[in-house]
Chains A and B, each alone.
Chain A
Amino acid sequence: MGCCCSTEEENLSQDGEVNERTRLLNDPVSNNYQVTANSNDYGNHYPTSATKKSDDHSVLNQILQHTASSIIDVGALECHTLEQREYIERVRTYNQRVNAIPQVKTPSKRHHEVQLLYDTPATERVLSAQPISLADFNMMITASQKVVAAVSQIRVEHKEDLVVPFGIP
Chain B
Amino acid sequence: MEKPLEKCLDEIAHSTGVSGVLCADHKGLCLGVRGKASSASSGTVAALAERVASLEPGSLDPVILLESDNSAT
Residues of A within 8 A of B (CB): 129, 131-132, 136-137, 139-141, 143-144, 146-147, 149-151, 153-155, 157
Q: How far is the CA of A139 from the CA of B18 in the complex (A)?
A: 10
- CB of B23 within 8 A of CB of A151, answer yes
Q: Give 1 or 0 for each of B36-73: 1 = CB within 8 Å of chain A CB.
A: 00000000000000000000000001010101000000
Of residues 20 to 43 in B, which have CB atoms within 8 Å of A's CB atoms? 21, 23, 25, 31
On whether the beta carbons of B63 and A137 are closer than 8 Å, the reply is yes
Q: What are 14 of the A-B contact pairs (CB < 8 Å)?
A: A141-B63, A143-B12, A143-B15, A143-B21, A147-B5, A147-B8, A149-B4, A149-B8, A150-B5, A150-B8, A151-B5, A151-B23, A153-B5, A154-B1
By a CB distance below 8 angstroms, the chain B residues around A157 are: 1
